[in-house]
């Protein structure tokens, strides 16, 4: 019997297409599962894909884009705070 190895190293172009469970996605972006689900409910995390009638999944590529967007928006906020404090 063959058992699928979920820790298999994939080529980068395939890794970006991998679909993660909510728990895996939360861990990937560095959030607790409850906070990740809360952000999803609020529409803050895009890219959820229906895996079955009761399960959602998130593509690694979508999570990377979301992380990059958060990084850019946090830079905007911190730079505007510096301007406010300095001005």
Closest to 66 (Cα-Cα) out of 46, 36, 43, 42: 46
CA–CA gap between residue 86 and residue 82 (Å, rounded): 6
Tell me if 65 is assigned to some domain: yes
Tell me if 54 is assigned to some domain: yes
Residue, of 71 and 56, whose pLDDT is higher: 56
Is the distance from CB of 68 to CB of 78 less than 8 angstroms? no
Tell me if 13 is assigned to some domain: no
pLDDT at 72 over 90: no
Instruction: Name the residue range of residue 44's domain.
Output: 20-86
DSSP state of 53: S
- pLDDT band for 5, please (50, 70, 90 cuts): low
Tell me if 10 is assigned to some domain: no
- pLDDT band for 16, please (50, 70, 90 cuts): confident
Is the distance from CB of 61 to CB of 17 less than 8 angstroms? yes
H or E segment and range at residue 78: helix 60-86
């Amino acid at each position: 019997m063959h058992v699928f190895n979920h820790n298999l190293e994939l080529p980068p172009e395939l890794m970006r297409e991998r679909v993660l469970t909510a728990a895996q996605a939360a861990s990937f972006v560095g959030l607790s599962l409850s906070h990740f689900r809360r952000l999803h409910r609020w529409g803050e995390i895009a890219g959820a894909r229906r895996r079955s009638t009761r399960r959602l999944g998130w593509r690694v590529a979508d999570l990377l884009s979301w992380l990059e967007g958060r990084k850019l928006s946090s830079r905007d906020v911190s730079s505007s705070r510096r301007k406010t404090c300095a001005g």
